[in-house]
A = this chain, B = another copy of it.
Amino acid sequence: MKAAHEWTASDMLAAVSGGRITVRALIESCLARISARDDEVRAWLWLNADALGQADRLDALPADRRGRLHGLPIGVKDVFDTADMPTTHNSPLYQGFRPAADAAAVSLLRAEGAVLIGKTDTTEFAAAGRNAATGNPNDLTRTSGGSSAGSAAAVADFHVPLALATQTGGSTIRPAAFCGVYGFKPSAHRVSREGVKLYSISFDTVGWMARSVADIALLAVTFGLTERLRAPPSNDILTIGLTTGPHLSLLEPEALQALDVAEARLLAAGHRVTRHDLPPAFQTLDLWHRTVLQREGAQAFRALARTQAADLHDDFHRLVENRDNRSLAELNAAYHGIAGAQRSFDDIASRFDVILAPSAPGIAPLGRKPGNPIFNALWTALGVPCLNLPVGGLRDVSMPIGVTAIAMRFDDVALLEAGRRIAPLLAGVSSP
C-alpha cells in the first residue's frame, strides 16, 4: 500500500472524507517526506510552521463547513503573496518580505480548506537573474526546469500532490515535462494574478501541477474554470492534431520519439490523429513573444531598478534599459502579430478536440539553468490552455518527457476532459 504522501489529491480527499485518514496524519506524511528528501531536492524556500496546527483546525471542522479542498497539502511558488509566510521571489531584494495579504489564488485555496505547506523555489521573479537551487528528483544533477522549479520537483517527488505555479514563457509546462508531472497553464486572463509578482502583464498566467489530470481539474473548479466554450465531442473518438511546432530543428531525438509514441498509442486506441503544420507566421511568434516580454518586463522592473539598483540582478537592468533595442514600433507590430495568430489559431484549433506538441526540446538539461522555453512561448503568446502530459515507457529514455496538449483559447474544460482521457495512453500505464 502506498504511503499517504504518494496519493493523488483526489485520493487524499476521498480518504479524509471517508474517515480513513486525518488531515494531521496526511500532512505529517508529506512533512516526513519533505524532511527525508529536501536536503537533496531543495524544492522549498520556506515551510509553513503552522501546517500541523492548520491540519488540527481542519480536522475539528464539522463536515458541513469543510471546503472543496479540505485538508489538501498544496505548495505555493514563491512569487505568490502569502500573509503567513515570507514571499521572496528568490530575490535578494525580498528576503524576509512578508505581504499583508494573500494573493487571490492563494486566498481561494485557503478558503477551500487547503493546507499551504510552504513556498517553492523559483527562478528569480519567475523571470531571469538567479536560478532556483532545485534539483530534478529523477536525477539531481539535472534541472527541474524553471521558473516553477520547486513546484514541479515537490509534486514529482511526492512532497505535495498539488502546487501553484506561473507561466510567462514556459515556466509551468517545461518544469512539469522535465519532472514528469501534469502541468496546466489555463487560458490567458482566466485566473486572477492579483498578488503575484508582475513580469509581463499580457502573458503572466497562474498555473498548477499535479500527479493526475483529475487533480489538475480539482483546482480548475476552485478557480471557476467550469464553463464550456464549445459542445463536448459527440463520440468517444477524439480528433487530435499533432505538430512539432515551428522549431523542428531544435527538437532532440527523445522529444521526437515522444511525439511518435504518442501518435502510435492514440491511433492504436482508435483516435483520429493528423499531423499538422502550423502556418508560416507562427515562426515569428517567438520573436513577438520576446518583444512583448522585454518591453512589458522593462516597465515591471523599472521601480526596483530605480530604488534598489545595486542589488538588482543585471538581467533586470538589461530589461529596464531595453538593451536589446526593441522599438515601440516593433512592440506594436508584435501585439498585432500575436492578435493575428490568435485568430488563425482559432480556425486551426476548432478543427480538433486537442492538439499535441512538444513540451520542451528534450529531457531536462544538466545543471540548474531552466532550459529553453521556445516550445512553450508560442502557446503562451496565443493565450491558449496548455496541459503537459508525461509520455512514459520510451525506449532508452531514462528521464521524463512530455507533450503539451492544447485547445482553443477558453476551451479549458474541453482540454482537461480530453487530457483526462488520453493521459493514461501517453503515460503507458493503465490508470495514472
**Cα distance, A107 to B194, chains bound together (Å):** 18
**Cα distance, A23 to B198, chains bound together (Å):** 34
Contacts of A189 in B (CB 8 A): 201-202, 296, 299
Measured CB to CB, the closest approach of chain B to A281, in angstroms, equals 14
Assuming the contacts A229-B332, A328-B228, A410-B328, asked whether A108 and B299 have C-beta atoms less than 8 A apart, the reply is no
Which of the 9-residue segments A54-62, A160-168, A334-342 touches chain B?
A334-342
- Known pairs A194-B198, A224-B298, A229-B329; list 14 more (Cβ under 8 Å): A104-B198, A104-B300, A104-B302, A189-B202, A192-B303, A193-B201, A194-B197, A223-B302, A227-B328, A328-B411, A332-B409, A336-B342, A336-B343, A339-B343
- A108 lies within 8 A of B306 (CB): yes
- A residues 283-331 in Cβ contact with B at 8 Å: 296, 298-300, 302-303, 306-307, 320, 327-329, 331
**Cα distance, A328 to B192, chains bound together (Å):** 16
- 7 inter-chain pairs at a CB distance below 8 angstroms, sorted by A residue, are A100-B100, A107-B303, A107-B306, A111-B303, A190-B299, A192-B303, A339-B340
Counting CB contacts under 8 A, is A365 at the interface?
no
- B328 lies within 8 A of A335 (CB): no
**Cα distance, A111 to B305, chains bound together (Å):** 11
- A307 lies within 8 A of B107 (CB): yes
Size class of the contact patch on chain A = 35 or more
Counting CB contacts under 8 A, is A16 at the interface?
no
**Cα distance, A7 to B223, chains bound together (Å):** 49
Contacts of A302 in B (CB 8 A): 104, 108, 192, 223-224
The 4 closest A-B pairs by CB, nearest first: A339-B339, A104-B303, A328-B410, A194-B198
Counting CB contacts under 8 A, is A346 at the interface?
yes
**Cα distance, A193 to B336, chains bound together (Å):** 22
- A residues 86-102 in Cβ contact with B at 8 Å: 97-101
What is the count of identical protomers in the complex? Answer: 2
Measured CB to CB, the closest approach of chain B to A312, in angstroms, equals 13
Counting CB contacts under 8 A, is A52 at the interface?
no
- B300 lies within 8 A of A194 (CB): yes
Counting CB contacts under 8 A, is A348 at the interface?
no
- A306 lies within 8 A of B111 (CB): yes
**Cα distance, A98 to B98, chains bound together (Å):** 12
Chain B, residue nearest A200 (CB):
B189
**Cα distance, A209 to B97, chains bound together (Å):** 32
Chain B, residue nearest A107 (CB):
B303
Measured CB to CB, the closest approach of chain B to A83, in angstroms, equals 9
**Cα distance, A336 to B101, chains bound together (Å):** 35
Counting CB contacts under 8 A, is A191 at the interface?
yes
Instruction: Determine which of B335, B339, B410 lies in contact with A332 in the assembled complex, contact meaning CB atoms within 8 Å.
Output: B410
- A410 lies within 8 A of B192 (CB): no
**Cα distance, A307 to B192, chains bound together (Å):** 15
Instruction: Determine which of B107, B329, B331, B342 lies in contact with A339 in the assembled complex, contact meaning CB atoms within 8 Å.
Output: B342
- A299 lies within 8 A of B329 (CB): no
- B192 lies within 8 A of A299 (CB): yes
